Structure 1
Amino acid sequence: MSTNQIKTNWAQFIPLVTVFFFWGFVAASNDILIPVFKEAFDLTQGQSQLVSVAFYVAYTIGSIIYMIISYFMKSDLINKIGYKNSLALGLIVSALGTLLFYPAANSGSFPLMLSGLFIVGLGFSLQQTVANPLAIALGPITTGSQRLTLAGGINNLGTTIGPLIVSFAIFGSATSNKTTLDIESVKIPYLILGAAFLLVAVLLKFSSLPDKPQAVVESDESISNDRGNALKYPQLILGMIAIFVYVGVEVSTASNLPAYMEKDLGFLTKDIAPYISLYWASLMIGRWTGAVEAFTDKMNLQKIL
């Protein structure tokens, strides 16, 4: 894979962004699970936020596990096993997490539900470590950030659709009179999601995605010699802080919106999903707008887009 290619490789990029869609789908679906679990398990608002905590803490722990494994291997794990294998492995880990929803729903166990979400997040952590640099590598480096923004737009497509589908799976149609929750209704949607993870893992494994793109792969010697040097760049540290604050605001707003709508606006839990979707859709519009350069280098067309 040359870093000098002049066009985005859409045949490889489109299969890749399916994982971005999944990340958004599950993350936004958590916003529906929060009020559902709060009611079903009689939780306080603080306790209900453990849904988001379990899911997003897994990203940090997953990255630490990845670093520790790479350290003891004395080689970068992803470069060692390949990008496609890493994506497939991450999807399999996430699929294992969805399987926990079945016994958790049968036994009515909130901790087991959280464990399932945590394992799904662990798989996503590995997937994101692979997919983000790969999205940049599948085309000219000058439009790499726009390609990543476009992938973020696909992610937000998942966040827009996810709450609607999960809410429908739990409560039924918008005109349904079902207002109370049987916690077992969450297990089928997540088992289907797990099957989708496995299907995409197989499809990506046999796709045309490069297993070791030159644009993002370094030799073992350069990795060992430069280990730790990345943190010497202040823009990286500031970028990490910016992402931490941004994601915190984005996620905490969506996670607490259902409680605000129920307590202060008088909404029923089953009627909240469209508004959660609108929140995420507004972010999707901004990300698609920021990605226009990934489609064309013609300024006039960029303005129209």
Structure 2
Amino acid sequence: MSTDKQQQGRGQSNALPMIIVAGLFFILGFATWLNGSLMPYLKQILQLSPFEASLILFSFYIAVTFTALPSAAVIRKVGYKNGMALGMATMMIAGLLFIPAAKTQLFALFLFAQLIMGAGITLLQTAVNPYVVRIGPEESAAARISIMGILNKGAGVVAPMVFTALILSGFQEVGGDLSQTQIDDMANSLVLPYLGMAMFLGLLALAVKKSPLPELASEADSNEQNNDNQGHLKEALSHPNLALGVVALFFYVAAEVIAGDTIGTFALSLGVENYTIMTSYTMVCMVIGYVLGIALIPKFISQQAALTVSAVVGLLLTMGIVFGDNSSFVIANTLLGGVELPDTLVLIAFLGFANAIVWPAVFPLALSGMGKLTSVGSALLVMGISGGAFGPLFWSLSSTTSLGEQGGYLVLAPCYLFILFYAVKGCKMKSW
């Protein structure tokens, strides 16, 4: 009886921390998937080439990649809760940097603001992720991770809608040449929303610092442990299922960011109104795919089989996008009740279905049999996020060729081909 009361008390004591952590995951998703709206918007007002526009995503994701290890060092110094507050304070600074960037319309300043935003998000993510696993019972950790994933992607649905409502609602021009007055008005419309976001993040940082979040014990950072980690790193990479899993996640994040963050830019080139909201369509598909994955894996379909299906669906959709007809609206008219969207845009959104369960499937397959190397393997897999920096970059470079923006989506094909290889063979390889 006393055990039951103890467990009930623990559940109640964990409730508030989990609510706080859930809110932080929503903020992480909001700030990340806001890029899908920001990229085409800046492309229009700064009159950027596809390659220059892709640098908006590159600067964000390259920061996520290269500040991961420094973020871990910061967490060891200041603790997890202070790390969350510092992460949001860094994001607040990034939000404030968007104000002079908008006033001066300097592309380099926008890129610097994106770099700082990526660094802040990485620090927040490094601090908040361990809470999901360690704040409750280990046996229910997978369920908590799934819920946080849905919140993250759900924020990706909301962010473009908020961006469009606050920033784009007063403007009717889509594509074409803008006058300097129109450009100034559109740039200035970024000031108040980003000021509001910065103030909100600052207040939230203070609230988290003063919140009853319990501090997690951090690992010691001794020289002996660092030497062990270096040895473990080499040993971990000797496992093909892990090493190839890192590459698979690189290609997956590349495909995910292309599908989520370039759809608005492509919609702008097609003259679609409210192009800044297009990321929401991809995110809705990802959320539905995420929920289906939770319901079906592993009860009805194995992780490996689900990964195979995802890769095949991704390849088929890629071919449909590249060779589709931009003047056809059949899919939208059939499935979306007459929403005027070209079939190619709908197929890009459908990539959300193909992408949804790749990360949840690759992660456990790559860590299978790793034993004491699991933590090192997890760190290596997280480095696959760097694919988000290079995927849109390759898409933009392809778009400047005779392929055009539509043909540029052909870069998705090698991504899904490698994921298919990993699903069929790579995840089974236990030695080189």
* Superposition TM-score, scaled by structure 2 size: 0.58
Q: How does 1:11-50 map to 2 (within 5 A)?
A: 11-50=16-55
Q: Indicate whether 1:201 and 2:197 are aligned.
A: no
- Return 5+ residue gaps in structure 1 as ranges: 71-76, 294-305
Q: Indicate whether 1:247 and 2:244 are aligned.
A: no
* Aligned match of 1:285: 288
The residue type equivalent to 1:103 in the other structure is: P
Q: How does 1:157-236 map to 2 (within 5 A)?
A: 157-172=154-169, 177=172, 179=174, 181=183, 182-213=186-217, 217-221=218-222, 223-224=225-226, 226-231=228-233, 232-233=235-236, 234=239, 236=242
**Contact 2:261-2:279 at 8 Å conserved across structures:** no
Q: Which residue, out of 98, 101, 105, partners 2:95?
A: 98
Between the aligned partners of 1:79 and 1:59, the Cα distance in structure 2 is: 18
**Contact 2:91-2:121 at 8 Å conserved across structures:** yes
Percent identity, please: 29
Instruction: Tell me by how many angstroms 1:236 deviates.
Output: 4.8
Instruction: Tell me by how many angstroms 1:22 deviates.
Output: 1.6
Instruction: Tell me by how many angstroms 1:251 deviates.
Output: 0.6
Between the aligned partners of 2:50 and 2:29, the Cα distance in structure 1 is: 23
Q: Which residue, out of 78, 84, 87, partners 2:84?
A: 87
* Aligned match of 1:259: 265
**Contact 1:101-1:113 at 8 Å conserved across structures:** yes
- SS of 1:267's partner is coil
Between the aligned partners of 2:202 and 2:210, the Cα distance in structure 1 is: 13
Instruction: Tell me by how many angstroms 1:289 deviates.
Output: 4.8
Between the aligned partners of 1:51 and 1:121, the Cα distance in structure 2 is: 11
- SS of 1:209's partner is coil
**Contact 1:87-1:130 at 8 Å conserved across structures:** yes
Bigger relative CO (Cα 8 Å, ≥ 6 apart): 1
* Aligned match of 1:301: none
**Contact 1:150-1:288 at 8 Å conserved across structures:** no
Per-residue deviation, residues 147-174 of structure 1 (Å, max 9, x unmatched)? 122111111121110001111111226x
The residue type equivalent to 1:13 in the other structure is: M
Between the aligned partners of 1:230 and 1:130, the Cα distance in structure 2 is: 23
TM-aligned CA distance change 1:10 to 1:240, over 3 Å: farther
Q: Indicate whether 1:275 and 2:272 are aligned.
A: no
Instruction: Tell me by how many angstroms 1:80 deviates.
Output: 3.0
Per-residue deviation, residues 100-139 of structure 1 (Å, max 9, x unmatched)? 1111111111110111111011011111111112211111
The residue type equivalent to 2:70 in the other structure is: I
Out of 108-117 and 274-283, give the one that drifted further: 274-283
The residue type equivalent to 1:204 in the other structure is: V
- SS of 1:43's partner is coil
Between the aligned partners of 2:294 and 2:134, the Cα distance in structure 1 is: 16
Between the aligned partners of 2:134 and 2:290, the Cα distance in structure 1 is: 19
- Return 5+ residue gaps in structure 2 as ranges: 1-6, 175-181, 297-432
Instruction: Tell me by how many angstroms 1:49 deviates.
Output: 0.8
TM-aligned CA distance change 1:262 to 1:97, over 3 Å: closer
**Contact 1:31-1:276 at 8 Å conserved across structures:** yes
**Contact 1:160-1:280 at 8 Å conserved across structures:** yes
TM-aligned CA distance change 1:50 to 1:131, over 3 Å: same
Give the root-mean-square deviation of aligned CA atoms.
2.5
- SS of 1:227's partner is helix
Between the aligned partners of 1:125 and 1:278, the Cα distance in structure 2 is: 25
TM-aligned CA distance change 1:241 to 1:267, over 3 Å: same
* Structure of higher CA gyration radius: 2
**Contact 2:160-2:278 at 8 Å conserved across structures:** no
**Contact 1:171-1:178 at 8 Å conserved across structures:** no
Q: Indicate whether 1:149 and 2:149 are aligned.
A: no
TM-aligned CA distance change 1:116 to 1:52, over 3 Å: same
* Aligned match of 2:302: none
**Contact 2:84-2:128 at 8 Å conserved across structures:** yes
Aligned residues: 273
